[in-house]
Amino acid sequence: MVASRAVGYPVNLDFNYDALGHLQQFSINNAGDPFIAGNYGVHSRDFEVGVLDWFARLWEIKKDEYWGYVTSGGTEGNLHGLLVGREMFPDGILYVSKEAHYSVFKAARMYRMNCVKVETLASGVIDCRDLKDCLLKNKDKPAIINISIGTTVKGAIDDIDLVVQTLEECGFPRNRFYIHCDAALFGLMLPFLDRAPHITFKKPIDSVCVSGHKFVGSPMPCGVQMVRIEHINVLSRNVEYIATMDTTIMGSRNGLAPVYLWYALNRKGYNGLKKQVQNCLIIASYLKDRLRGAGVSVMLNELSSTVVFERPQDEEFIRYWQLSCQENIAHIVVMPNMTKKTLDTFLDELVEKRSIRFKDGKNQPPCVASDIGKENCVCPLHI
């Protein structure tokens, strides 16, 4: 795979961990609860707690009010957050928008949860009118809600405040709902945008997860999961074998990941990350304008770096640029390693392919109005 052409998947390939290379000679294992010492000596729990404290500050929760750990990625965070929700409310119903990441539906199957798929708007955000209808049909059961802070395909940000307001309107008091925020990609981006709604535990949310290998970038998949400490007791089971509390999904855990994350976050710092996020949004906006200028149907959600556009018709082109596609649409997730120059090359090639394909009018660009809204569609019908 040529790194600079991998534009479809949200991974930042701009990293350098050479300074940590010598750690490979150890088998670093953080099995169990990061806050409780186990018997196995070669661990990086101090770094892990350092990373968690960093995120606690970012997501506005006091050190003594959170529990968390460094996971193997966003999926494990979802598996953990939804498990805590289910253990708190064994008869609860999981509400999740149909555009949420597939790992949420995987969790629902694994845990045999009663799962209600909620409709979305064209932008990709959860439709709170439909959520309301669904909640009202099941008023007697507690609600476990998955909120997507950046959906995978359209980069749409569900509105936490509106979801909470909907719960209130439907008569769900605070002790009858659990909110898990799947912030796999945007959990590290939104906090650095001045205009963005905060991801904050000051709101009535219960857990948040993020992927470490996406925006930060790392050679191995990793992530962070954070939950209110009072909820974690439902998962605590004493495991004598390693003399630690078994509160995570995995047994053995990657001890290199916390060191890598700690290193990257501290090297970049808040200011470095802020600059990178701002730059990604500027480039995403540039890409959107150029696509629109070239007559391609395109959508870019506010505060998002995920540019959604009409799916190219050429499979080889899709593979070459590592585009990820869903039915009639494709997307590019602008990451810090992507330059205007790479995207200009992409655009030139796309424009050339389209001009050949649509030359004599035999082929027409597909209609994507139902995917990204009429206003973003420039197919012959909607132009």
Residue 296 or 308: the one with the smaller Cβ distance to ligand PLP is 308
- Whether the CB-CB separation of 328 and 153 falls below 8 Å is answered with no
Residue 131 or 208: the one with the smaller Cβ distance to ligand PLP is 208
In the chain, the DSSP E strands lie at 66-71, 93-97, 114-118, 143-148, 177-182, 207-211, 223-228, 238-239, 244-245, 298-300, 306-310, 324-326, 329-333
Question: Measuring CA to CA, which residue among 189, 180, 126 is closest to residue 158?
Answer: 126
Q: How far is the CB of 114 from ligand PLP (least distance, A)?
A: 21
Strand order in the sheet with 324-326: 298-300, 306-310, 329-333, 324-326
By beta carbon distance, the residue nearest ligand PLP is: 74
Q: How far is the CB of 333 from ligand PLP (least distance, A)?
A: 9
Q: Identify any residues that bridge with 317 across adjacent strands, giving them in sequence order.
A: none
> Catalytic one among 123, 211, 304, 305?
304
Which residues lie near ligand PLP (CB under 6 A)? Answer: 73-75, 78, 101, 103, 148, 150-152, 182, 184-185, 211, 221, 223
Return the ∠ at Cα 203 (arms to 101 and 134), rounded to 5°.
Answer: 50
Q: How far is the CB of 77 from ligand PLP (least distance, A)?
A: 8
Helix (H, G, I), strand (E, B) or coil at 146: strand
- Whether the CB-CB separation of 241 and 31 falls below 8 Å is answered with no
Q: What residues contact residue 207 under an 8 Å CB cut-off, 6+ apart?
A: 77, 80, 81, 84, 85, 178, 179, 180, 181, 225, 226, 227, 228, 231
Q: How far is the CB of 152 from ligand PLP (least distance, A)?
A: 4
Q: Tell me how far apart the alpha carbons of residues 115 and 138 are, in angstroms, rounded to a whole number.
A: 12
Residue 106 or 353: the one with the smaller Cβ distance to ligand PLP is 106
Residue 182 or 310: the one with the smaller Cβ distance to ligand PLP is 182
Question: Measuring CA to CA, which residue among 201, 224, 202, 200 is closest to residue 211?
Answer: 224
Q: How far is the CB of 251 from ligand PLP (least distance, A)?
A: 18
Q: How far is the CB of 306 from ligand PLP (least distance, A)?
A: 9
Known active-site residue 72: no
| End-to-end Cα, the chain, rounded Å | 37
Residue 224 or 350: the one with the smaller Cβ distance to ligand PLP is 224
Q: Tell me how far apart the alpha carbons of residues 333 and 21 are, in angstroms, rounded to a whole number.
A: 29
Residue 11 or 58: the one with the smaller Cβ distance to ligand PLP is 11
- Alpha-helix runs per DSSP H in 116-255: 128-137, 160-169, 229-232
**Tokens linked to 313:** 């018709």
Q: How far is the CB of 203 from ligand PLP (least distance, A)?
A: 19
Residue 26 or 102: the one with the smaller Cβ distance to ligand PLP is 102
Q: Identify any residues that bridge with 353 across adjacent strands, giving them in sequence order.
A: none
- Whether the CB-CB separation of 91 and 244 falls below 8 Å is answered with no
Catalytic residue positions, numbered: 304
